[in-house]
Structure 1
């Protein structure tokens, strides 16, 4: 069954219009630099007071930024202001010294002023293109807490290392419904437990993506809305659990906005770092494990490696579900004991993580539902699985792997439960992550849904699916999903 839906701008999901993403101190430096640039063109009576006010403000704000941490986006602003400063101040000094004031003719001064103005304007443009991400406010009734744990599977060797005694270890971040914290409580840093971890992970992600690290230097400065180790919510009973595997080279925090939204609605989200696969995993002992995966240029070999990695990730998801059960029973210390309903668990993931979620669901019936966020199925044996499934895909185009859609339809068609494939108009592959919050809004890169609308669409559709499958809430799931894109429903026994 096909449903054509209105675009996702019907009032349910709105984008937040943001400015140039600059701090008050950065804005102060910008305004002072602009004042120094335009001072030359003001009426004679206005030039001295403007220069006297703007000069010290510019110097002090530049010094303060140097101490607090200067972002590269402000370098053009400081350069423009620094170039304009001597030309603005020189007439005042000459007048005070009793020397004649000599001003360049306008047609000589104009090119320099334009250069300074262009440099100054480059700053807010760069800050807007590569901002410090501001995560959307969760909309559920619960506050959100978070904590990071590290678990080692004694039954599985680590195949990425030659040491025979090395066992598979994963780092897991939990987001959970929490009690309201006092005003001013420190929110969790976005990319890591510490600033150093956040910078390590940001640098690794930039290298993995082929970007200069300085372009994303604002990302480690970001914080989410969750509070570290906040007390668990007193009400809400036992919470369904949602396990998440990131994309190839991705990290556990890449879908933090989505995880916080789900947690605010009463779910516990457990997102995994997969060592030797994720771009960077900082272990409890301080070691950083980078990715050991790289394209070979041989499509067949790359497919084989992707399938092998998918199998490892699927096993990681099953292991973490086991650990969450032990945590719920009190066999592992933690505040969530007695609050996790692992009988209502979903396997989810983005890209290769979505493929791992599908494979984990087929292999492990403890998972009651599965969500694939734009992931090509990699299971070498696409056998039937028995959980309801939701697959969100980007708008398919000429560059899409022609095998993707037939393969995904084949996998969903084999399920003995209803499967849903939703193509989101305006989405790109990275729309299903936090990337639109901090990368330039280039449609081919992050889609055309804006900074926050993409994450809101992903959250709204997956929440509708999880509420229907894990909580058995009544309602028209197909109708709710189809409000956000082109929906295909795969019903059991129809093969499609």
Structure 2
């Protein structure tokens, strides 16, 4: 029995995290990375009672050893995600001349490590809130709406803080990472809850020039109506250029789940948005997880996706690159098929 346990323990990593080929990188630039911890002196950490300031861990992907400036792209991960969730996307974008920063939202991310070695896991209360939200009838619509507002406030506060910090450093910090940033061109994107936060920022900030929403509801555009105990869509045009990429998991809910009432394709307030559907994809097909841990991805999303994982992520990366190229650099035209 002991030998069996030792064998399983020794070889489990090769089963859970098998060797895999990295998605293709097509840009001309070699990509460098850098990680930092930013301390927000204007916020106290709500997940502890120590009175510490909120900290946010970030990682940059950017062109190595170049003198030009490039648009800034800010990424937010999903509910249980980590800042490395779409590394292939960041790398592809940076190789084409973008400075990409991905955020770990401490206590919302599964795991994060700071520059000083501090490690933080997902908060158990937040974890239970997410789990219970997925249970039919556990929360009332009003309670669900309050949770959404709470989650989005933390996410958007983190993203606003990171963007503002970077813009300030671009003016005063000689670090090559910051000196490569064109502060007049900013895009935001994210997966799942991070996509919802990105759309939210696309409404709030005037300096956001383009948004990519990966498989998320428009939480920013939900209005809770007590008299009907349900959501309606906010009645205000969304004017920031927007690309929506949906898996089967979300595509099948656009007309049946009121959480996606604002995402409906006939919503005139989003008439200029680009929307595409990856047929056969599951929620995590739009991240790198199915590549480096197919077993874990299948467990988390309830089965194997019906789309090739490399086709899914490489097609997604290509679309995001072309969208940002068009909106932030004025390169070419952007079109997308209804279904991939």
Give the TM-score of the pair, scaled to structure 2.
0.81
Q: 1:433 aligns with which of 268, 273, 287?
A: 287
The question of whether the paired residues in 2 share the 8 Å contact of 1:240 and 1:268 is answered with yes
Gaps of 5+ in 2: 1-6, 133-137, 224-233
Deviations 1:251-279 (A, max 9, x none): 00011011111111111110000011101
Partner residue in 2 for 1:282: 113
Partner residue in 1 for 2:37: 150
How many Å separate the matches in 2 of 1:168 and 1:322?
15
How many Å separate the matches in 2 of 1:159 and 1:411?
39
The question of whether the paired residues in 1 share the 8 Å contact of 2:254 and 2:263 is answered with no
* SS of equivalent residue, structure 2 residue 39: strand
The question of whether the paired residues in 2 share the 8 Å contact of 1:152 and 1:170 is answered with yes
Partner residue in 2 for 1:393: 246
Partner residue in 1 for 2:11: 71
Q: 1:361 aligns with which of 185, 188, 202?
A: 202
> Residues 336 and 406 from structure 1, CA distance in 2 versus in 1: closer, same or farther, beyond 3 angstroms?
same
> Residues 72 and 159 from structure 1, CA distance in 2 versus in 1: closer, same or farther, beyond 3 angstroms?
closer
The question of whether the paired residues in 2 share the 8 Å contact of 1:389 and 1:412 is answered with no
Deviations 1:355-402 (A, max 9, x none): 000111111111111111001222255454331111100123479962
> Residues 73 and 472 from structure 1, CA distance in 2 versus in 1: closer, same or farther, beyond 3 angstroms?
closer
Structure 1 residue 445 displacement after superposition:
4.0
Partner residue in 1 for 2:4: none
How many Å separate the matches in 2 of 1:288 and 1:130?
22
The question of whether the paired residues in 2 share the 8 Å contact of 1:155 and 1:167 is answered with yes
Partner residue in 1 for 2:87: 256
Partner residue in 1 for 2:213: 372
Q: Does 1:268 align with 2:105?
A: no
Q: 2:262 aligns with which of 407, 413, 438?
A: 407
Structure 1 residue 326 displacement after superposition:
2.1
The question of whether the paired residues in 1 share the 8 Å contact of 2:247 and 2:280 is answered with yes
Partner residue in 2 for 1:459: 317
Partner residue in 2 for 1:294: 127
* SS of equivalent residue, structure 2 residue 239: coil
Give RMSD over aligned pairs: 2.8
* SS of equivalent residue, structure 2 residue 35: strand
How many Å separate the matches in 2 of 1:349 and 1:447?
20
Greater percentage in strand = 2
Structure 1 residue 137 displacement after superposition:
3.3
Q: 2:61 aligns with which of 158, 169, 175?
A: 175
Query: How many residue pairs align between the two structures?
Result: 305
* SS of equivalent residue, structure 2 residue 290: helix
The question of whether the paired residues in 1 share the 8 Å contact of 2:74 and 2:188 is answered with yes
> Residues 337 and 279 from structure 1, CA distance in 2 versus in 1: closer, same or farther, beyond 3 angstroms?
closer
> Residues 320 and 263 from structure 1, CA distance in 2 versus in 1: closer, same or farther, beyond 3 angstroms?
same
* SS of equivalent residue, structure 2 residue 57: strand
Deviations 1:28-87 (A, max 9, x none): xxxxxxxxxxxxxxxxxxxxxxxxxxxxxxxxxxxxxx9xx942377xxxxxxxxxxxxx
Q: Does 1:326 align with 2:159?
A: no
Q: 1:314 aligns with which of 137, 156, 173?
A: 156
The question of whether the paired residues in 1 share the 8 Å contact of 2:173 and 2:179 is answered with no
The question of whether the paired residues in 1 share the 8 Å contact of 2:24 and 2:314 is answered with no
Answer with 1 or 2: which has the greater Rg. 1
The question of whether the paired residues in 2 share the 8 Å contact of 1:345 and 1:368 is answered with yes
> Residues 398 and 314 from structure 1, CA distance in 2 versus in 1: closer, same or farther, beyond 3 angstroms?
closer
The question of whether the paired residues in 1 share the 8 Å contact of 2:109 and 2:122 is answered with yes
> Residues 413 and 343 from structure 1, CA distance in 2 versus in 1: closer, same or farther, beyond 3 angstroms?
farther
> Residues 450 and 410 from structure 1, CA distance in 2 versus in 1: closer, same or farther, beyond 3 angstroms?
closer
Q: Does 1:422 align with 2:262?
A: no
The question of whether the paired residues in 2 share the 8 Å contact of 1:144 and 1:175 is answered with yes
How many Å separate the matches in 1 of 2:66 and 2:304?
35
The question of whether the paired residues in 2 share the 8 Å contact of 1:327 and 1:336 is answered with no
Structure 1 range deviating more: 389-398 or 254-263:
389-398
How many Å separate the matches in 2 of 1:411 and 1:146?
41
Gaps of 5+ in 1: 1-65, 75-126, 179-231, 487-496
> Residues 398 and 339 from structure 1, CA distance in 2 versus in 1: closer, same or farther, beyond 3 angstroms?
closer
How many Å separate the matches in 1 of 2:212 and 2:273?
10
